[in-house]
Amino acid sequence: MFRRRSREPGERIVTLIGKPGCHLCDDAQSVIEKVCGELGVPWEKQDITQDEELHRAYWEQIPVVLVDGAQHTFWRVDEARLRKALTQM
């Protein structure tokens, strides 16, 4: 699948899957930066133009947001919904 950095047990991670020049991806990144910054949750960005497997899986849905490797949402990121997903265990 795709590469993830190692993390401690119980540590949350948000992954933004998108591509350069995508205005929805930029909007999603702004929400992710805000929520993850406030909660201290690490996040990463992956580019579908650089990974064929990600491109095949998600090209019609970008931006796609994963929380702990599971798809959370696509196209638009709702700040309250992301915050709730990251604060529930």
Work out how many domains the chain is built from and give that number: 1
Residue 54: CB atoms within 10 A of its CB come to 21
- Whether 9 is in a domain gets the answer no
20 close to 88: Cβ distance less than 8 angstroms: no
Kindly indicate the confidence band of residue 2, based on its pLDDT and cuts at 50, 70 and 90.
very low
CATH number, domain with residue 50: 3.40.30.10
74: DSSP letter: E
Q: Is residue 4 part of a domain?
A: no
The answer as to whether 63 is a domain residue is: yes
Distance CA 77, CA 66 (A): 11
How does pLDDT run across 25-70, given as a tens digit for each residue? 999 999 999 999 999 999 999 999 999 999 999 999 999 999 999 9
For residue range 72-83, list pLDDT tens digits in order. 999 999 999 999
Question: 62 is in which domain, residue-wise?
Answer: 14-87
Residue 17 has a pLDDT of 98
Q: Which residues of 4-33 are buried (b: 16+ CB within 10 A; e: fewer)?
A: eeeeeeeebbbbbbbbeeeeebeebbebbe
In a domain, residue 7? The reply is no
Is 41 within the bounds of a domain?
yes
